[in-house]
Structure 1
């Protein structure tokens, strides 16, 4: 249960439904409700397919490239840490992506990539489905957790206008920063796990 909660919090933080909601509002303001709902559904399906693909083949790619999981965990932890700093100090993910160019499917860019299937999310799904640490049943449970987070994100997108009116700009900013703090702590934990996995330990003093 503790691992399940850990995975849910991590995936919720890196997929960042609140940040995605704000981005969704900013780029679909002129769309009809039916079109916005279709965009939300496509973005959820695309990002889910990408993330689940990384669950299946992410570690195979690392093995083929000769990259130890510990090294990937350290690099991924650093990426997540930097990602969390953006959330904490005001460079919100929801405002950091350029608007899609004319003719592009905004469900793909910037909603599915790089908002929902962000570099941090891709890193996280590989780390928490490590074949050497988790069995098939645990990886399936993680995949179900991922799908649940994506469904929550989809529901939030469907209710985007109502949620934003209820939270307001201040409430949205507070939620993003709380998730940033949680993600920051999780990132540090992932780095330490990577160091342990490489068979070394951080220095205890200078």
Structure 2
């Protein structure tokens, strides 16, 4: 699957799912003073950005140490994205744990895993190892994704009131459907590359 700058950005936005995470984000900040919330948003988005950048830059070295191939990572990434997509389409009960937070959230659960979750880490690692010569494009796609996430979280209250619960659920399931197709494409690409390598 050839990945352009635009498709990489869209993929990362779908995976980080800022719109779908608004209810959990609002719940996580319930006990934070209103004047502190903007600072918390900036801090958590910055931490998530640094975490994902780290995976992007040191992903190739990690694969070499673990003796993992590009094909195995593509298949694993496809499986992870597929599972994430299924959760977006068929959300289960008790999947949100923000109500257990006491005080101001720090790193967990907003930065990790809400924004920089396993699927996002696997995706940036996959992009950087498959085409390292396009690193500037991947950094740009990640930066744009984090800016979108930042804006969505800054205006989360207004967006939630404007769209309502039903519209947000419908949007999340639509994004899950798109992500399902992307995950299947990634999985098939990994399997095809492995078969070609054997042949």
Report if TM-score (shorter chain) is over 0.5: yes
Contact 1:88 1:181 in 2 (8 A): yes
Aligned mates of 1:169, 1:107 — CA distance in 2: 27
Secondary structure of the structure 1 residue equivalent to 2:63: helix
1:108 aligns with 2:107: yes
Q: In angstroms, what is the RMSD of aligned CA positions?
A: 2.0
1:60 aligns with 2:61: yes
Deviation at 1:102, TM superposition (A): 3.6
Q: Which residue of 1 aligns with 2:70?
A: 69
- Following TM superposition, the consecutive aligned residue runs of length 4 or more in structure 1 with deviations greater than 6 angstroms are none
Q: 1:135 to 1:124 in 2, by over 3 A?
A: closer
Deviation at 1:36, TM superposition (A): 1.0
Deviation at 1:197, TM superposition (A): 2.5
Q: Which residue of 1 aligns with 2:11?
A: 10
Q: Which residue of 1 aligns with 2:119?
A: 120
Cα shift readout 1:98-155 (whole Å, capped 9, x = no counterpart): 235446x51411101111001110111111222xx4243x221111111111111111
Matches within 5 A, 1:44-193: 44-91=45-92, 96-99=95-98, 101-102=101-102, 106-130=105-129, 133-136=130-133, 138-193=134-189
Contact 2:47 2:107 in 1 (8 A): yes
Aligned mates of 1:135, 1:109 — CA distance in 2: 30
Aligned mates of 1:24, 1:182 — CA distance in 2: 23
Contact 2:28 2:101 in 1 (8 A): no
1:198 alignment partner, one of 189, 194, 199 = 194
Contact 1:13 1:183 in 2 (8 A): yes
Aligned mates of 1:12, 1:163 — CA distance in 2: 17
Deviation at 1:97, TM superposition (A): 3.5
Deviation at 1:91, TM superposition (A): 3.0
If the length of structure 1 is used for normalisation, what is the TM-score? 0.87
Contact 1:40 1:107 in 2 (8 A): no
Residues paired across the two proteins, number: 195
Q: Which residue of 2 aligns with 1:204?
A: none
Give the unaligned 5+ runs of structure 1.
202-206
